[in-house]
């Protein structure tokens, strides 16, 4: 078996703000195809990774069937290093849904502004997730706002638009 540092990272995309596309100031958004591959290419990431698009929804639109699909994809895959890109509004709910998966390091991340925007936290959060998945013990984590939180001890403070330890 390869040392953890060389293991392929499975990146599961689920949509969310990170993949939103706005057509003009007056239009609603659409969750587009994932931009994660482009971000990693632009950052010249050389660590082996594989991207699997599971759903393309705003996290407020995710339901239990979607979470079962996400869970099944991660549980059945041989990868032990997993990043999930996810909308920020319900990523803590999905983290709880994934909590029974054993023997894997799962890091959930997203962004508060679309990756396609000039001013976005997307690249920073993806970078945090790439580092965290390689260095954290098996378990489920959320990487947002410059912190890696154990999934059971974090909430999204909607008023302040940030994640905080509870």
Domain residue ranges of the chain, discontinuous segments joined by +: 4-165
Q: Which pLDDT value is given to residue 16?
A: 83
3-state helix, strand, coil in the chain (%, to 5): 30, 30, 40
Q: Which pLDDT value is given to residue 134?
A: 95
Instruction: State how far Cα 59 lies from the chain centre.
Output: 11
48: CB partners within 8 A, 6+ apart:
6, 7, 8, 9
> Is the sign of the CA dihedral 58, 157, 12, 49 positive or negative?
positive
DSSP 39-87: HHHHTT--S-EEEEEEEEE-GGG--HHHHHHHHHHHHHSS-SEEEEE--
**pTM for the full model?**
0.89
Q: Which pLDDT value is given to residue 24?
A: 53
| Burial of residue 3 (number of CB atoms within 10 Å: 0-12, 13-18, 19+) | exposed
**CA distances to 8, 24, 49, 103 from 78, in Å:** 10, 41, 13, 10
Question: pLDDT 10s per residue in the chain (166 long)?
Answer: 445 668 999 999 998 877 766 555 555 655 667 778 888 998 999 999 999 999 989 889 999 999 999 999 999 999 999 999 999 999 999 999 999 999 999 999 998 877 767 677 888 999 999 999 999 999 999 999 999 999 999 999 999 989 999 9
Q: Which pLDDT value is given to residue 18?
A: 76
**86/108 Cα distance (integer angstroms):** 7
**59/16 Cα distance (integer angstroms):** 6
Q: Which pLDDT value is given to residue 28?
A: 62
Beta bridge partners of 22: 29
Give the CATH fold of the 4-165 domain: Rossmann fold (3.40.50)
* Residue linked to tokens 């925007």: 117
Q: Which pLDDT value is given to residue 23?
A: 52
């Amino acid at each position: 078996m390869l040392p953890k540092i060389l293991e392929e990272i499975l990146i599961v995309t689920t949509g969310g703000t990170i993949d939103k596309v706005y057509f003009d100031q007056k239009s609603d958004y659409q969750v587009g195809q994932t931009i994660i591959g482009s971000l990693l290419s632009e950052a010249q990431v050389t660590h082996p990774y594989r991207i699997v698009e599971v759903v393309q929804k705003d996290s407020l639109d995710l339901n239990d069937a979607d979470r079962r699909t996400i869970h099944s994809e991660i549980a059945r895959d041989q990868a032990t290093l997993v990043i999930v890109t996810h909308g920020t509004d319900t990523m803590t709910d999905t983290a709880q849904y994934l909590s029974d998966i054993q023997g894997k390091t799962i890091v959930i991340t997203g962004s508060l502004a679309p990756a396609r925007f000039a001013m976005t936290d997307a690249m920073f959060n993806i970078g945090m997730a790439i580092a965290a998945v390689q260095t954290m013990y098996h378990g489920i984590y959320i990487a947002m706002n410059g912190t890696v939180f154990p999934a059971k001890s974090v909430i999204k403070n909607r008023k302040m638009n940030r994640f905080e330890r509870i």
